[in-house]
Chains A and B, each alone.
Chain A
Amino acid sequence: MNLPKGSSMDAYTDRLSEYLDDEDLDSLDRARIEDHLDTCSACRAVLAELRDVSARAGTLTDGAPAADLWPGVVARIATIPIGRPAARRISFTVPQLVAASLALMLLTGVMVWVARIGGTRVDIEPMAAAPGGDPRFTPAVEIADFADVSFDAAIADLEKALAAGRDTLDPQTVRVLEENLRAIDRAIDQSRQALIDDPANLFLNTHLAAARQRKLALLRSATALATKG
């Protein structure tokens, strides 16, 4: 705020702290205040006193409290986890997770429906095993092993690791993660049920394998996030 020429003495007095501190005072105001100080001994006296007040503030000495406050501090921090940042919580936005969950369920339903109604059917002729395992007789599509021990073991290991680290994940993330896993489990179950009736169905076999891979991938990702956090 500029000082109009011919301002009252109070107007100048009110700006003396600004003049003293020399913060953000424009050159015009500074010049006018200096002109006024040249002619006003009262303002010069006030300025000197303000300077004295400010200087005293800079000379204050610090002192410890009369009582020892440490017992009170240590009693309080004893209940608080050590002074490091809270474990990084991994989270996705709810719309992202819900959309992923819905898309997965929709995809699973459509794929199973397609497989049952009009999916590509591959009839695999029974073949005698060639001596020495002639590769020419290796089926183009690997028929899913419904009781895949290695798959179940891998899933179990990942689920165990995820359970151990799930506290580091955002609860909302855990909830949606579990929903996704349930959706994949449903897809796996549906595929398996459908394959009981139609074990040679290429589409169903592919879909079952893909669902298993999705479950493995999801569990691996979630476990990595949990152990990283």
Chain B
Amino acid sequence: MDQDVASATAGDVRAFEQLYRAHLPRVHSLVRRMAGGRDTDELTQDVFVRVWQKLGTFRGDSAFATWLHRLAVNVVIEKFRADALRRRRRSDDESVFDRLAAPRQSGDVSMDFEAALEKLPDGAREIFVLHDVEGYKHHEIATMLGISAGTSKAQLHRARMMLRRHLNARCGV
């Protein structure tokens, strides 16, 4: 892997493809969850194009995967910042409770959970993914998103409460 990073940094497209193949599932899933399933393939390509452009700035201070995932998060955030529609969707959308209260009964709990995740309001979903799926701390999320740590905590709690309803409804509680 390290050799692939070094070769790709020197302009070796085949080495870069190895990196792409190795990290694609993780990056694609991260992007899909953060973006709520919208433009996932296009955003994933944007991430790898950005990685190619920025490879020379990777100094090995962190693991390559960590650097790449952080870059992927930034690509999604930048994309959404430019999306005016998202601004409206970020606002409190209480109808999400209705949508989440009627989960699909696919028989696959994991898929149902992913589907419920996609239906969350953008702000709550982003923070839930960053915190509970990706493992970022509130102060890190606050820095990435340009919000306060308190807002991050509130949105996370909101997302969990919505998903809790979803899980309860699925179990017939």
Contacts and interface: CB of A to CB of B under 8 A. Distances in A.
B53 A69 contact: no
A136 interface: no
Interface stretch (A28-36, A71-79, A141-149, A180-188): A71-79
A62 B25 contact: yes
Nearest to B164: A49
A73 B41 contact: no
Contact of B164 (A21, A50, A76): A50
Most central of B55, B57, B160 by chain A CB within 10 Å: B160
Nearest to B28: A65
Nearest to A74: B13
A24 B26 contact: no
Interface residues of B, number: 50
Interface string B11-33: 10100110011001110110001
B40 A53 contact: no
B160 A17 contact: yes
Interface residues of A, number: 37
A70 B20 contact: yes
Given A23-B138, A50-B164, A83-B55, A73 B45 contact: yes
Contacts of B26: 62
Contacts of B77: none
Contacts of B51: 83
Contact of A18 (B28, B157, B168): B157
B110 A61 contact: yes
Interface of A: 1, 14, 16-18, 21, 23-24, 46, 49-50, 52-54, 56-65, 67, 69-70, 72-74, 76-77, 80, 82-85
20 contacts: A14-B157, A17-B156, A17-B160, A18-B157, A24-B138, A50-B160, A52-B164, A53-B163, A54-B160, A58-B133, A64-B24, A65-B44, A67-B41, A69-B41, A72-B45, A74-B17, A76-B49, A77-B13, A80-B53, A85-B57
Interface of B: 8-11, 13, 16-17, 20-21, 24-26, 28-29, 33, 40-41, 44-45, 48-49, 51-57, 109-110, 113-114, 128-129, 131-133, 137-138, 149-150, 153, 156-157, 160-161, 163-164, 167-168
